[in-house]
Amino acid sequence: MVDALRRAHRMLAADGVVVDLHPTAAESAIEVGAEETGYVEAGDAIERHAAADTALAAVLESGLFVVDQVVAFTFYTYGDTIDELREYIEENWNDARLDDETVARTRDALRRTPGARSRTRERVVVTTLRPAGV
């Protein structure tokens, strides 16, 4: 990750900017409307996201970049059914899964909330870096 940022620095124009988006180390929740029904079992995702934070810290420490801006947002992924959402997560997220209890709670919540969809909630941070000394 640090090497990737070093390569980015070489390719970047003097007034250029690096933009990094990655999820925070917080667990991703499953929701139906405003009701939280469980969390995604995310394999090593928390460690991977923490490693991205560490890489950013390392290039800042090395003096290659300075932080320009940091903003955060919430990223939702919706499934028409919890089974669709579960299948999507298990096929597309690294080593992630939903446990049966979370799926059951989500089904109950969907039954109680006509018209609602199940969704994942991820917190994501956007950081912009500029070459130091510009």
Partner 1 sequence: MAIEEDPEEHELDALYAVVSFAGRRVLEVGCGDGRLTLRYAHAAASVVAIDPDEESVAALAAEGLPNVETRAVGVERVELAPRSIDVVLFAWSL
Binding site for partner 1 (CB under 8 A): 1, 3-5, 7-8, 10-23, 52, 55-56, 68-69, 71-80, 84-85, 87-88, 124, 126, 128
Q: Which of 1/116 has CB closer to partner 1?
A: 1
- CA distances, 82 to each of 45, 58, 62, 75 (Å): 21, 39, 45, 17
Phi, psi of 53 (to 5 degrees): -60, -40
Shortest reach from residue 70's CB to partner 1, in Å: 8
Shortest reach from residue 8's CB to partner 1, in Å: 4
In sign, the C-alpha dihedral spanning 21, 49, 102, 73 is negative
- CA distances, 128 to each of 18, 20, 68, 69, 71 (Å): 5, 6, 5, 5, 9
Q: Which of 11/34 has CB closer to partner 1?
A: 11
Q: Which of 87/99 has CB closer to partner 1?
A: 87
Shortest reach from residue 131's CB to partner 1, in Å: 10
